[in-house]
Structure 1
Amino acid sequence: MADITFYENENFRGRSSGIDSQVNFLKEIGFDDRASSIEVRGEAWEVCEDPGYAGRCRVLRPGSYPSLRSMGLDNRISSARRVGDQNVSNDRYGPEPQPSYYRRGDEALYQAQVVSVRAVMGDQQQRCWIEQKEVRDRPNVGGAVIGGVLGGILGHQFGGGTGQAVTTAAGAVGGAVVGSNVNRGNDVRNVQRCGAVPNNGAPQFWDVTYRFKGQEHYVQTTQAPGATITVNSRGEPRQ
């Protein structure tokens, strides 16, 4: 199995060529300046636009690269070598590989039996709304205190002796009652309330389990699968 495979067109289409050891000049295998997509397996590889690993280079981690346009290397790769476990600076790496289920070249395809499907819904959504609520004000404690003091002063101006004390007490009670009702009444206010509501839309994805050559495999799909799923000889999903 080749460790790096070059494809003539994007999405692993067209003619392909694979290597498992460094190639100083891809013209040796008839693929100089022809690759538009790449698949890397096993270890990281460095690909360069000029022979002899010169010019602009990018290190590609194991995985699928359905297009080389974002790296500016579409139809421009002329040499490639294995990087392995070498320490590589971050600026030499290409973009992260992308999961891709495109068919690779003319690889053989098979139908694998789907054994279970689980629809995965989105998280509950938080929704808020405004309600009008009638609020009864509490007794005005501050007004009651001030009213009581003023009532006591006014009551103290009348009567004398014991009668003056009784008048003062009556004035304080009356003032407190009046003060406690200052600014008291019913009020309608807007109150915000929030709550979680279930997501009743379409599933975000499906968890699919399928069996191929006696082994179970798993994949997530954006559409509900049928009774079978298309795979290659290694059981990898294809479309």
Structure 2
Amino acid sequence: MIDVLGTGSAPRLVVFDLDGTLYPKEAYAEQVLAVIGRMFVELQGASEAHAEAKVAELREAMRTNWSGTSTTSFVRANGFDVAQWLEYRETHLSIADGLRRDDGVVRELGRLREVVPIVLLTNNTRGSMEAILGKVGIGTEGFTEVFSSEDSRDTPKPDPGAFQVVLDRLGVPAEGTWSVGDRVDIDIAPLQRLGGSGIAVDGPADLGAAVDHLIGLVRRA
């Protein structure tokens, strides 16, 4: 089921999230939790008990407030800088290994790309992003442009600055831009603060409904 959050304006650009949006969040959460636990021990010298407590805290946040929980924000709040987090997850995390091709995702993105430019914006590193997109079957070539952590640098989502990077690069105003993601506070609210709109999805199974809505807006304009 989708949740449309916006003005109803016709999209001139659609920004897609990656994790939990173009592949199921279940393939992401437990792997990330395990890596964050290791990071507390190896980089901060924390005890196993402390690391387990922190992982439990993040797991509960994901369970009760998935829409508002950002792993990047969590690690930053616990003393890691963005560069540390990206380097560590690039070395120790391989979400792509557990994924497979999803023809439904490929089809829906292709339908939308025929009527409006689409881009990807993710807090993943470029290497991880490319591996995930390759396994799902889209590839970076499935988007007009892709934006990774290397592009947003010190303003990763949920910072609106991540979306501003996209808007500046594509030369599209926020008012004509829509975001599609599984977490309202992370993937949609930051663009709304700039004047844009969004559609919240529960995962890839909702992409068809989201694409139908966006195509309808384009055709009615």
| TM superposition score normalised by structure 1 | 0.18
Structure with the greater alpha carbon radius of gyration: 1
Which one has the bigger helix percentage? 2
Which one has the bigger strand percentage? 1
| TM superposition score normalised by structure 2 | 0.19
